Amino acid sequence: MIPADLPQAWRARAEELRRYGAEPQAVTLEATAAELEASIRAMDGEELTLQEAALESGYSERRLRELLASGEVPQAGRKGRPRIRRADLPKRAGAARDATPTDYDPAADAAAILARGAGGGR
C-alpha cells in the first residue's frame, strides 16, 4: 500500500470501529486521514529545482529541461528559474521516487560485491 492509499483505508477502518461502538477512535482515525491527505497535497504541490527533480524522477537535468521546453512537463517556475511541481514529475522505471525501503536487500548487495571481488565480475 502506498501512502496515498492510506486515508481511504483509514476511513474504512473508522467506519468499522463505529460499528463496534468505538466512536472516539473512529474520529481520531478520520482526523489522521485528513491530515495525511493535506500533507500529500502539499508535498505534491511543492516546486522542485531541476536538480531536485532529477534526483526524484531518475531523469537528467538536461532531459527535464527538454521536457519543460516541449511542454510535456508543465513549467512551475519562471524564465531563468525553472521549477517542476512534484506531482508533475515524469516517472521513470527504477527511479528513486518509486523505491521503497523493502526494495534494497543489503545481504544480496554484499554477496554481489563479494562475488565481483572474488573474480566473478571480470
If one counts every other C-beta atom within 10 angstroms of the C-beta of residue 6, the result is 15
The tens digit of pLDDT for each residue in 22-76 reads: 999 999 999 999 999 999 999 999 999 999 999 999 999 999 999 999 999 999 9
Q: pTM here?
A: 0.60
CB 59 within 8 A of CB 91: no
CA 66 to CA 20: how far, in whole Å? 55
Contacts of 32 by beta carbon, 8 Å cutoff, 6+ apart: 10
- Residue 7: predicted pLDDT: 96
- Comparing C-alpha atoms, which of 80, 88, 81, 79 is closest to residue 53? 88
- Residue 114: predicted pLDDT: 83
